[in-house]
Structure formats: C-alpha cells, structure tokens
Amino acid sequence: MKPQTFADLKPKIVLGIAAHPDDLDFGAGGTLAAFAKQGAEVHYLQLTDGGKGSSDPNMTSAEIIKIRQNEQQAACQAIGGTSVHFLNHPDGELEVTMALKEEIVKVIRTIKPDVVITTDPTMVYDAEYGIINHSDHRAAGQAALDAVYPLARDHLALPKLYAEGYQPHKVKTVLMTNFTGHNFFVDITDSLETKFAAVKAHASQIQDYDRLKQLFTGMAEKHGQAAGCQYAEGFVRLDVML
Ligand SMILES: [Zn+2]
C-alpha cells in the first residue's frame, strides 16, 4: 500500500495512550503539535508512574515520579495540548489486564477521541536500531487497542461503567508508533521545533540532548523522504471498520 500522508486526517480530539511520560513526545510529538496547531484538542494518558526512570543513585522513586509528571505537563503545554491524565501503575510492571483496560475505556468514554495514538504492541525489538522494546510499551499498546475495540464501543461491555453514565464511544482511527512498516506519515516540517520543545521538557530522561536532537532529526528526514516533505513522523495507521 502506498503510504498516505497528513492531508486526509483532521481530528477534532486526539488521545495519546502510552506507558511513560516522554513516550508520546519522543515518538509522536511533531504529530501531536501539528494536530494541536490545526485546532484539535490533544490529551495525554500515561499508564505508569514513570517511577523507575532514573540512573541517579540518590534519586528516589517518589521524587522521580513527581519530576516526570511535571515534565509531562510542561511538554503538553509546549505542544499546545489540553490535558494529561495519569493512571500511576508501577513503572516496569505494566500488565494487560481487564482492570487496566477498564481504566483506559473510562478515559476514552470521557474524552471521546476520534484519533488514538499509541505504541505498536507487535514491536518486540528492532535490530536496525538495536532496541529491545520495553514490555510496558507493548502492554500499553495492547491494552489501548483492546480498549478501543471492542470495549469502549459496546454498551454491554463493562456494564458497570455504562451504569455509571459512561456512554459508549467509537474511535475512528488509531496511529501506532513503531520503527518500521509505516503506512502513514504526518508532515511535521512546521512542528519539528515544537516537538523539540516538548522533548526538552523531559530533562530527567535526557543524557545528551544534542545527540537526541540529531537522532530525531535524522529519523524525521528519513520519514520525510518517504512522505515527500522535509520532516515527517511515520505510523502504522488503522481506520477502525467496525
Ligand atoms: Zn517508555
């Protein structure tokens, strides 16, 4: 399939669902900024508390959780986003459970996004980039997909939520971040700098900002070549049929 580009997707409400503060801004910050710029509400849902994200021996979990939540709020502000929600599951231990899916459904039924952005659960590793994908990223993506379909859509699914007034909601499109197999690109030429403002907000997670900037710029250039623009972010796009 020929990769599609940005033009045909103009969401009104976008929900990013990811394991850790920084996942969405690193993987899709230019896209979130581009959507916000064209008038969409952009919401973040962070499933874990990020409490393992420090190599500083003097850092405590409680402290890093607070730092990272503040960083995510700042990044959301930088891209022009609307809100950040935290479910605060322990970092590094995320499991695909009905309880997690129910929590995600609750947020989907409240925010009613037409586009959900999440991490591709099928990515276990990427040999080209030398990356083993964090198990939290896979769990987040799987639970997000299960929440989108069928649980958020069906009023008979999770009847307790329905009884509490959470009306069913159908998400139209899912964009998954991955390193390969992209079938959709978002032109981020005008929002690359905004992405870097959001990336920079996650200061506690960055050892060498210049190196990271170089890496993300190189990836955006590569995707831009595939998309026919200067800079782009690539996704696996899925338009939900049922
Ligand atoms: Zn992560």
Report which of 49, 46, 145 is spatially closest to residue 105, judged by C-alpha positions: 145
What spacing in Å lies between the alpha carbon of 50 and ligand 1's midpoint?
8
For residue 22, the CA-to-ligand 1 centroid distance in Å is 7
- 221: helix, coil or strand? helix
CA of 152 to the centre of ligand 1 (A): 24
CA of residue 61 to ligand 1 center, whole Å: 16
* Ligand 1 center–CA 11 separation, angstroms: 25
Name the band, by pLDDT with cuts 50, 70 and 90, for residue 213: very high
Tokens, residue 89: 């599951």
Average pLDDT score over the chain:
95
List of residues 6+ apart from 195 with CB closer than 8 A: 25, 29, 30, 33, 79, 188, 216
- In our burial notation (b when 16+ CB lie closer than 10 A, e otherwise), range 139-160 reads bbbbbbbbbbbebbbeeebbee
* pLDDT at site 36: 97
- pTM for the model stands at 0.95
Is the CB of residue 87 less than 8 Å from the CB of residue 139?
no
pLDDT of residue 237: 96
Q: How confident is the model at residue 1 (pLDDT cuts 50, 70, 90)?
A: very low
pLDDT above 70: residue 4: no
pLDDT exceeds cutoff 90 at 109:
yes
> pLDDT tens, 61-76?
999 999 999 999 999 9
What is the model's pLDDT at position 6? 62
Residue 3 above 80 pLDDT?
no
pLDDT at 87 over 60: yes
- 47 C-alpha to center of ligand 1: Å? 10
* Percent of the chain topping pLDDT 90: 91
> Is 8's pLDDT higher than 80?
no
- pLDDT at residue 204 tops 90: yes
DSSP 158: S
CATH class of 4-239: alpha beta
Average pLDDT over every residue of 87-100: 97
**Is the pLDDT at 5 greater than 90, yes or no?**
no
Q: What is the mean pLDDT of residues 184-193?
A: 96
11 phi and psi angles, rounded to 5 deg:
-70, 155
